[in-house]
Structures are given as structure tokens and as C-alpha cells.
A and B are shown apart, each in its own frame.
Chain A
Amino acid sequence: MTCPSAVTRSMYADAALTPEQRAGVDLHLRDCAACAAKVAAMNRERTGLRAALRRDDIDLPIPAFAPPARAHASLLAVLGALAVAGFAAAFWSAVADAIPSGLAWLNPLQSGELLERAISLVSFLAFEGNTMLNSALNFVAVSLTILLLTWTAVAFARNRSGAAMLLSLVVALVLPGLTHALEIRHGEGVITVGSGETIDDTLVAAGQTVAIDGTVNGDAFAFGRSVTVRGNVTGNLVTGAETVTIEGTVGGDVVGAGRSVVLRGAHVGRNVVGLGRDLELDTNSEIAANAVTAGDTARVDARVGVDLKSLGNNVIVGGNVQRDIETFAGSVSVLPSARIGRNVTAHVDDPAKLEIATGSTIGGTVDRQIAEVALRHNRYATAGYYVRQVVRLGAAFLTGLMLLWAFPVLRTLTLPTAGAALRSFGIGFVAAVALPVAALLVCLTIVGLPVGVMTFVLGAIGLYFSKAVIAQLIGRRLFQGPSGPPHYAATLFAGLVVVIVAINLPFVGGIANFALTLLGFGMIVTLLFGRFGGATAAA
């Protein structure tokens, strides 16, 4: 008689055999004491094993039970996802808007119009993202980069000499800018370039008052509350201030922005672009090329070597314009003293709004264009426009409040000096240009696509929040006092009112929007760099 196998005995002890198998083993155990003993030991072992395994570890601490996240967390997650989708959609549609129609096939969001409109109803971002990124800056930066990359790629594909030529061209263009030294002067009070002084570099000056009485053999960038140039700038002059007064000589272009921009007896070697509420180019001034003005009131008595283009509420021309005048304005007056070499084209909403005084000379024709101005005026004349601005303010306030609540550090950001503001603006400008370009480059590699898209989205978020940061800063300034600023919600609201009014100003609103966005963006970027850059350096 053969004994059952070890496995069969084990299964017998576990009562796991079929009834027939079990009956067979039962029969065997009656005659085999050895097997019976083994099965008995196994039975005891089984009981002991079960008891030992079941013995609770009474020392084992019971951790607190954390119920899983429920509806509110899911809601937050959904809202977060929607927000991110909104940011991305607005960003892409803005980029798409900036692409001219001939390149529309590049647009990845052709059917995104509906989505974009839906989002724009509920989200401040869509408003902001759109206006902001519609700015020419991004378009120019992105298209230039694409052009340059394509050109480089084509040149390399064709032959090496083409690439070498291109490379040397790029180097030739870039190097002077890099090697040309900078003279930077900034401070709280008066920044002066004395009348006997000569600067052989590019000058960057920022202060409460900037006075350039000496000579700058290069470009000059001057920013402050008041900027006065009585000296001689051989290169270009770029200036922004509450009052800009130019009485000296500028060899290149003049770009001046401010509440008032005045040229008094100034000599400009090339073009003048003036942006501001009051623009005045007096009779003793001389502009060798074009004059372009944009502002509420522009008075041009100067001699303009080529064309005059003027945008504004009131345009008064009393000077000598060698070629054409084109205006987009509420009213245009051509004074008796005016001498215009060729044609006058005025875009007005009423033919009577163009007055040409007897005694003035016009070499060519006078053309009154009617329709366009009417359209522009309608923007402010409709109730819908104001409703939109109120919705915009409300949405901006809620988003800003959320932002400041989440990141308390943003509540107390300051720009103590004009220099700091200038630096922030510069950083914002560089970051706004560099970020999409960097993201684009990263996108070109397949691996980098998610990173590239993330960079785009993060950039868009930063740009979007920048005006909330600026609004908070302005609000704090408004409420400055011995008792300290009130609750951040109050300062934010006041600041947002100022910002929204500023960016809706006729003609200069776009520039204000652009400048405030970059300023705020620069502050955010600086903050992040301080935080993470500092942490990295420490680690």
C-alpha cells in the first residue's frame, strides 16, 4: 500500500480534497500510523499557524483616516484646468490674430474663434490676453525669429558661403550694439549732462529730472518726470517723461512720449515720433524727414522735410511741410502760415472739421476722407462699450484678488525709483520677447513640445497677471499715508480703475496697456528670479 503524497496529505489536512480523494485518504489513515501522525501534526500546525497569523499587533498605531478629496477639490481641479485651457486658448488666438491673413494657414486655432469668444465672456484673461498680445511686439518678435530661422536653415541647406554671409551679417548687426559701451546714469534727483560735457557712448539716463545740455556722441535714452534736451545728441533720442522738451540738436530719430512733448527750436536729423496729450513742434524747429504725432492736441509749426502724419483730437498745422500731410483727427486746422508741398488728406467725420485758412499754400490736392473716424468715435459712444469695461473691471478685480490672496508677496511689491521702474520695464520687455522665442525654439524639438507649450502658457499667465500687480502698486501709491495702506482689496480696486481708464484712453491707451503690462511682467519676472534664482544659488 502506497502512502499519499505530501501534497495530498497537506490538502487533506486543509480539507481541500474532493470527497472521493478524501475517502481514499481516510481509508489509508486507518491502517498507516505514520501518515495519521503526520496529518495530526499538520492539523495542529494549521491551527497554530492561523492563530499566529491572526494575532493582532497591538502596538501598531492606527493612523488617522484621511477621507479622499471630494466635490470641492474636484471643482477646484476643473476650474484650474479651465483656467489653464483659457490661458492657452487666449494666448494662441492672440498669436493667431497677430499673424497676417496671408500666413493664416500657420494658425493652429482657426476654429478656436467660438471657444475664444466663450472664454472672453467669463474671463478677464481673454480680454487682456487678446489686447496685450495683439501688440505689434510679439508679432514682430515671432515673425522675425521665424524669418531668421528659416533663412538660416535655407542658407545652410544651400551652401556654406551663404550661411557664412548671413552669420557675418547678423554679427555685424549685433556686435556694434553689444560692444558699444553704455553710460548709465540714474538717481532720485536731477541727472545732468553738463553743457561742456561730452559722452562718447550710448547714454541711458533716468531720474526725477533729466537735463542733457552737453553732447552725446551716440544714442540717448532718457526717462523721468521731466526730460530736457538742450545739447546735442548725434544718434537717436528715445525719451519718456511727463514733460519732454527738446531744444537742441538730434542727429537721428526722436521718439518722445509724455504728457507733453515740445520741440522748441530743435533740429532733428531724421524723423520725429511724438506721443502724448499735448504735442508741439514750434516754428523754429526743423525736422529733416517725417513727423508723426499721436495725441490729443498736436500743433505743428515746424519745418518738416518729408511727410507729416498726425493722429489726435485736434491737429493744427502752421508750418512748412515739404510733401504730404495725412491726419486722423477730430478736427484739423491748416493755418495761414502753412506751406504744404503736396497733398493734404484728412480723415474726419465731418467735412467741416477740416479748416483750411486763406493764405495757406497747398501744392497738391485736398482730400477729405469721412467714414473711418466715425467708426472710431463709435467705440466710446455705445453703451456696450461701458458695460464691457465694467465687466472687465469686475473680472479683473476678482482675478487680481485671487492672485493677491494666493501670493501675499505680490501685495507689497514696490518700485521705489524711476530706475527700478525702468529696469522692470526692460526686464519685462526682454522676457516678453525672449519667452515666446525660447518656447518656439524648444517646440521645434519633439521632446521639447510639452515644455515649449508650458513656457508659452506660463508666459501668458505672467503677462495676464502683470496688470493686476501694477494695479496693486498704483493703488498703494494712491492711498499712501501715515496710517499705512488699507486692505489690499481696496488698493487693488482703485488701482484697477486707474489702469482700465489708462488703457482705454484714445490713441495712447494701447501704449499705456503695453507699458503697464511689460512693467508688471518685469516685476513678476524679477520676483521669480529672486526667489528661485536665489534658492538655486543657495542650494
Chain B
Amino acid sequence: MTREAPFAELYATHYRQVRALCRQLLGSAERADDATQEAFVRAYRNFAGYDAAQPFGPWIMRIARNHALDLLRRRRLEPAELGTEAEEAAAAEAGETDGLGELLTAERAGAVQAAVAALPERYRVPLALAYFADLRYDEIATDLGITRTHVGALLCRARQLLRKMLTEETES
């Protein structure tokens, strides 16, 4: 069998997931489309080195994540752009609100995704890494070059902003 056949199948299965990750990390549908294609092209080139015993999903997601983060770094998502830990922690304390609980249901997925896309990059990127890519704080801290408590502050702040946006949207 040629490598095209199994790859085409895997592409069809994982495309939407990879594209969603790119969309959340990059914040734009257009850039997500390009990044998704590029991620699959990279996977295709390295397909010979891929161990078929391992699941394809995490492998392609890692390729896509690395590519998207590269793109962000090129666009200067430097640690300095992520604010300081103290500032973010203070802002999180001041903006403390209750969790959304049931307000966040799968039925409102569209609104949630739109709100995430509208988040500033410094909150959107750790949020996507934590709740979509399921990375641990340590991994996020390594990816972004910050401390894990800084990650915690950014995530706390991200959820507060998300709550605010979604509550306002519900009220209106």
C-alpha cells in the first residue's frame, strides 16, 4: 500500500481537531487553515518516521501546536508579551467572579468558541493549550517560557474574561 492511502484517511479523521487547535491558538480562521495544511504537510514528510503503533492524534496535534507556536513567536508572542506574574495575579484577584457552572454547556459551544477567539492572545494561547490540547501547566510553562504560577494566573484571568464575555452575551 502506498503511504498516500492511510495518510488520506488519517487526514480526514483528524483535520477538524487540528484545525480547531490552530484556530484557538492563532485566533483567525484564515491563518488556522494555512497552519493546518502546513502541519499535515510536515506530518506527511515525516510519515516514514511515524510509529504506527502510537496514536496519530497526539502526534499530529503536537506538530500543529509546535507550528502554531512558532508562528506566534514569529509574531512576537514573547514572554514579555505575556505580562508579569504579579500583575496577572493581582488582576485575577481583583476580577474574581464565580465560575460559570452550567452556563457553559456543549449547546453553547459556538458562543464559547467565538469568545475564546476574541480573547487577547496572551490569554487565548494558554487557555487553548490547557483546555483543548490538555497540556499540563508544566508543559505550557515550557512552551511559553514562563513559570507555572504565571500560567496559573493567565488561565485564571482568561476564564474570568471568558465569563464576563459570556455573561454579557447571555444578558443581551
Residues of A within 8 A of B (CB): 5-8, 10-11, 13-14, 16, 37-38, 40-46, 48-57, 60, 62-63, 65-68
Contacts and interface: CB of A to CB of B under 8 A. Distances in A.
Contact of A6 (B20, B92, B103, B105): B92
Nearest to A55: B109
B132 A67 contact: no
Contacts of B41: 66-68
A11 B131 contact: no
A62 B16 contact: yes
Contact of B20 (A7, A45, A51, A53): A53
B104 A54 contact: no
B130 interface: yes
Interface string B68-111: 00000000000000000000010011001011111111101110
Contact of B152 (A16, A38, A57): A16
B147 to A, nearest CB: 12
Contacts of A6: 92-93, 96, 156, 160
B62 interface: no
Given A11-B137, A50-B132, A44 B16 contact: no
Given A48-B105, A49-B159, A57-B16, A68 B44 contact: yes
B60 interface: no
Nearest to B42: A68
Contact of A16 (B15, B99, B136): B136
Given A7-B89, A52-B109, A52-B112, A67 B44 contact: yes
Contact of B99 (A7, A45, A56): A45
Contacts of B102: 44, 48
17 contacts: A5-B92, A6-B93, A7-B89, A14-B130, A16-B151, A16-B152, A38-B98, A44-B99, A44-B101, A45-B103, A46-B99, A49-B131, A49-B162, A52-B104, A52-B105, A53-B128, A57-B20
B113 A53 contact: yes
Interface residues of B, number: 53
Nearest to B88: A7
B153 interface: yes
A198 B108 CA distance: 96
B61 to A, nearest CB: 12
B164 interface: no
Interface in B28-63: 33, 37, 40-41, 44-45
Nearest to B36: A63
B157 to A, nearest CB: 8
A40 B98 CA distance: 10
A9 to B, nearest CB: 8
A16 B156 contact: no
Contacts of B4: 67
B149 interface: yes
Contacts of A11: 137, 149, 152, 155-156
Q: Nearest 10 pairs between A and B by C-beta?
A: A48-B104, A41-B99, A55-B109, A52-B112, A10-B156, A45-B99, A42-B99, A11-B152, A16-B137, A52-B109
A51 B106 CA distance: 6
Contact of A52 (B106, B128, B149, B153): B106
Contact of B16 (A38, A42, A43, A60): A60
B83 to A, nearest CB: 13
Given A62-B16, A63-B37, 4 more contacts: A5-B93, A11-B155, A45-B103, A52-B105
B109 A51 contact: yes
A45 B45 CA distance: 39
B10 to A, nearest CB: 10
Contacts of A52: 104-106, 108-109, 112-113
A45 B159 contact: yes
Contacts of A51: 105-106, 109
A7 B130 CA distance: 15
A7 B153 contact: yes
* Residue among B19, B137, B159 with max Cβ neighbours from chain A (10 Å): B159
B93 A7 contact: yes
A492 to B, nearest CB: 38
